[in-house]
Amino acid sequence: MRSTFKVLFYLKRNAPKKSGLIPVMCRITVNGKIAQFSCKLDVEEKSWNVKSGRVSGRSIVAQEANRMLDKIRVGINRAYQQISDRDNYVTAEKVRNAYLGLGMNHETLLAVFRQHNEDYEKQVGKLKSLRSYWKYCVVYKHLAEFVEKRYKVSDIALKELTPAFITDFELFLKVEKSHCNNTVWSYMMPFRKIIYMAVNNGLLQRDPFFAYSITKEETKRGFLTKEEITLLINGTFKKKSYELIRDLFIFCSYTGLSWTDMANLTEANLQTSFDGHLW
């Protein structure tokens, strides 16, 4: 059975530019499922014909805009036909991705990030640390959630990344994930490295991090009193895992070991001292 297929151009009225122009969006519908993307075209709201999905008038600006929309429509129709001829089923997202070039290997953000993490994991314990690998995995997870919530797709083309994408992701971490500034800073740095890698490998022409800035805030660490340490030792917790964390913290407090040194302790570090006990 042939799929129902429709292409619609509309204005994103809730996101006007500072110039007063409104971005034009393209919506692809296949069997009731929708995928959309920005046409990279801004127009005056008063010149937009909602019924035809085009710019009204015979001005040079209107003609150029409509020529661009026609080109997009032709490209989408071609992508739809190619997928219909090749695959057993067609989806709006597949048509959108094919038109934007997302079908090409390693030209999408999450695909590049995923490949990086797989390569990084192979170096853990040799050239890379496990904690650094975990951080990259956490950032990947946040990015995947952000792309799904904001753009309603499973991945996004590298060429679609803009400075606004970077700042929106930062806002997502702060608002949706409730992370403090320094945590956001620690997550944006691995993301920035992935983008630099894409630029250096020729996968991305322009760096969306250009002119972006975030700085780590200096914090003053407090300390616990002897009474507070005692309360912590005698305290009870709802989760057993919290008790383990408490015990590890107390261990570091009394031994002076850093968290990293404590985490790397093994049985090989235990020695029998003069008193016959293990230390």
pLDDT tens digits, residue range 142-191? 999 999 998 877 888 887 789 999 999 999 999 999 999 999 999 999 99
Would you give the end-to-end CA distance of the chain in angstroms?
74
Q: How far apart are CA 235 and CA 223, in angstroms?
A: 18
pLDDT band per the 50, 70, 90 thresholds, residue 259:
confident
The tens digit of pLDDT for each residue in 190-208 reads: 999 999 999 988 888 889 9
Say yes or no to pLDDT of 106 above 50: no
CB 69 within 8 A of CB 39: yes
pTM given for the model:
0.55
What does the pLDDT look like over 35-69, one tens digit per residue? Answer: 999 999 999 999 999 999 999 999 999 999 999 99
Q: Categorize the per-residue pLDDT at 103 as very low, low, confident or very high, splitting at 50, 70 and 90.
A: low
Q: Do residues 124 and 67 lie in contact, with contact meaning Cβ atoms separated by under 8 Å?
A: no
| CA–CA gap between residue 205 and residue 132 (Å, rounded) | 27
Amino acid identity of residue 75, one-letter, is: G
**Burial profile 190-199: b = 16 or more Cβ within 10 angstroms, e = fewer:** bbbebbeebb
Taking residues 97-112, what's their average pLDDT?
Answer: 76
Q: What whole-number percentage of the chain has pLDDT above 90?
A: 56
Contact 143, 113 (CB under 8 A): yes
Asked whether the beta carbons of 205 and 157 are under 8 A apart, the reply is no
Minimal CA–CA distance to 6: which of 98, 90, 89, 104?
90
